[in-house]
Every structure is written in structure tokens, then in C-alpha cells.
Amino acid sequence: MWNSEPTHRQHHQHNGNSTSGGPPAKQLGMTSAISLAEPRPEDLQRTDELRGSLEPYNVFESQDELNHRMEILAKLNTLVKQWVKEISVSKNMPESAAEKLGGKIYTFGSYRLGVHHKGADIDALCVAPRNIERTDYFQSFFEVLKKQPEVTECRSVEEAFVPVIKMNFDGIEIDLLFARLSLKEIPDDFDLRDDNLLRNLDHRSVRSLNGCRVTDEILALVPNIENFRLALRTIKLWAKKHGIYSNSLGYFGGV
């Protein structure tokens, strides 16, 4: 679909010095793990206590709120596909060919990592095939968005270092970037981590792709995503409470 929920990848690691004849442990990062021991019962209890201590700070959304975000992203994904088709037909492409072009919404940042808090915005990326120009996005698609009854405060920031359309979509703030790939079609299962995608792209598209590529790489490398999420939520809350959470000021923020 639109890449809104990370794929859960669990890697069960064993001691690399084992003589059992099994494959050596996969090393993640520059150094080996401090310990490969499984958590003890008291460790699991403390993890539950940590999760409970975060509850009062609104760092978790309810299932209804999560579903609402999914619905918004589904609507945006449908709008993108329809827009790509209509623009392509207007450029004299046969409708049968325009139907196959695709186009897709990807998410990145805290929402894609699964660590966003209540009311947080969504960072997203609109990916279009090669026949769609950047001017099409910031003109015709911008107009499409403004006409949607759920959209308010829609504004285009085309001259930014990373050009973006900002909007409020049914109560959720969304920053929507744009990337035009050198591909004829964008299938629904397309993976943005392929380095070959960056060939012959304009610098604005490369910068727009960076957020998704970095986020997906993190999720592919983290051995236990649920543990990672809880740790990251805790660190973010700690940094905000200490007034050191803002990458624009040189502190922690994002990745």
C-alpha cells in the first residue's frame, strides 16, 4: 500500500563463538553486541514498567487514531494515482497506458518508524513516474489538494531546500514532498532503497528521497523493532523534557 506501517523483522541472534555448527551471528554496525543474552524475567518486568511510565505523556495513539491516519494516507494515495493518470492523459497518453503508471505515497520520519506521538504530523513523499514534471505537482496537484473538502491550510513551499506542500488533511498536519523517478511506472510494491534510483535524478528529488531511504534502512537494520521503538520514544521524551530536542538548534531531533 503506502508504506504506512513498518515491516516487522526479527533476527534471533546467537553467540558467534558457538561451536554448534550453526551460522555465525549477524553483526549489525561497527562493533559486535555487548551481550547476546536473552532478557531475564525482571528485564521484561522493567520494560513493562517503562512502557507504563510513558502513558501519561501522550506518546501513544489509540487504535482509532492510528486507523484515522491510515484512512488519510489511503485517500492521498488514491488522489495521487488519479492525478498521475489525468495529467498523463492530458499530455496525449492513451488512457490504457496511463492507467498503468501508478504513483505512490511513502511515509518517513517518526510516523514511519512507529514512534510518533498523539497529534503529531506526518512526513510523506509523493513519488511519480518520469512523465510527470515537478511543475505539474506544484501546480495541478496543489489545486487538486485545495479542492478536497478534508484539506485546509494548504500551502506550497516550492523554493525551499526540500520543496514541500504543507496542509491539514482531516485534522492531521502533513508535509508532502515530491520526487520524480526515471521510471516509466511506479508499482505498488516499489522499494526506494535501491541506490540505482538516484542515477540521473535532479538534486531536489534526491533530497526528497533521503528521508524515506534513511528511515527504511533503519527499519531493515534494527534487530528488534519493538524494543527500538520503546527506547526511541523514551529518549525523545527525555530530550524534550530537558529542552534539548531540536535539530534546528543543534540538539537531538529526527534520526
| Assigned C-alpha cell, 171 | 485534522
**Count of CB atoms within 10 A of residue 15's CB?**
14
pLDDT digits (tens), the chain, 255 positions: 455 444 444 444 444 444 445 566 667 667 777 888 899 999 999 999 999 999 999 899 999 999 999 999 999 999 999 999 999 999 999 999 999 999 999 999 999 999 998 989 999 999 999 999 999 999 999 999 999 999 999 999 999 999 999 999 999 999 999 999 999 999 999 999 999 999 889 999 999 999 999 999 999 988 889 999 999 999 989 988 988 888 777 877 666
The residue from 106, 175, 208, 216 that is catalytic is 175
- Residue 111 annotated to the active site: no
Measured distance CA(56)–CA(60) in Å, rounded: 9
| Structural domain of 218 | 63-245
- Residue 110 annotated to the active site: yes
* Short-list 84, 170, 163, 188, CA closest to 131: 84
Domain count along the chain: 1
Cβ 137 vs Cβ 128: under 8 Å: yes
Q: Is residue 254 part of a domain?
A: no
Measured distance CA(201)–CA(122) in Å, rounded: 25
Largest CA distance in the chain: 66
The residue from 111, 123, 205, 208 that is catalytic is 123
Measured distance CA(165)–CA(142) in Å, rounded: 8
- Residue 121 annotated to the active site: yes
CA 230 to chain centroid, in Å, comes to 18
The residue from 81, 85, 104, 236 that is catalytic is 236
| Full-model pTM | 0.84
Specify the CATH number for the domain of residue 221. Answer: 3.30.460.10
The residue from 75, 121, 166, 170 that is catalytic is 121
Measured distance CA(132)–CA(84) in Å, rounded: 7
Q: Is residue 18 part of a domain?
A: no
* Short-list 141, 145, 163, CA closest to 154: 145
The residue from 4, 110, 205, 208 that is catalytic is 110
Q: Is residue 200 part of a domain?
A: yes
- Residue 236 annotated to the active site: yes
